Amino acid sequence: MKKERVIILRTEKVQNIRNQFRIILKMWVEDFRTSLRKRGLYFSKRGDLIRARKFQSESSKYDLLEDLSILVCLFCGHRDKDMVFVPKMRQWLCLDCYAEEMYYENLRNELDISELELREFFDRLTSDEGISLSRSGSRCHEYHYSKLILDRMGIAGETQKQFFELCKHYGGYCDCEIFFNVKPRFFED
């Protein structure tokens, strides 16, 4: 699908039918994957690793297809909620996770830090001024160096607060996690 698509079921009866149908499909997929894995194990025990890998690969394909389907929200794992298809992510999310993603996407769009400033920040964060990233490790202490660098760059306090809120959402709970987890999210496009 190329467009965003929202599927909301309003009546409880129809929601129950949908939920039961999702359970049946999940059980069928699990049964099919188990069958593929058993076949793979059979060939593995007989020494036919090529055929064993083929069945393992097929099983993995079904895992991925289920994760990206409307059967389950990829973020929270709920199977009993209304869903939204997000073309940019190529996946289905429940309405709650979608609302949260939209909040953080808007926060990121409103962030008053240019791409040039972000690149400068990440460069300085890994230098001796920041966590001093090297083969022997790094020095990291919560957001100490990140705050210090942002202050030196003249980034306003409210903007820093929004930036750190985004960092937490992207998995950056300290200076080094900001570099390893957050930097790729800002420059993934």
The pLDDT tens digits of the residues spanning 23-72 come to 998 899 889 989 999 999 999 999 988 988 998 888 888 888 888 888 88
Mean pLDDT value across residues 175-186? 90
Whether 134 has a pLDDT exceeding 80, the answer reads no
- pLDDT at position 5 is 86
pTM score above 0.85:
no
- pLDDT at position 127 is 87
Where do the structural domains in the chain lie, given as residue ranges? Answer: 5-95, 111-186
Q: Measured at the alpha carbon of residue 75, what is the angle toward residues 70 and 76, in degrees to the nearest 5?
A: 90
Whether 88 has a pLDDT exceeding 70, the answer reads yes
List C-alpha distances in Å: 162 to 5, 39, 111, 112, 120: 29, 51, 7, 9, 18
Whether 189 has a pLDDT exceeding 60, the answer reads no
- DSSP-assigned letter for residue 137: B
- pLDDT at position 139 is 80
Instruction: Tally Cβ neighbours within 10 Å of residue 100.
Output: 15
**Rounded Cα–Cα distance for residues 60 and 96 (Å):** 28
List C-alpha distances in Å: 2 to 5, 7, 103, 156: 9, 15, 22, 38
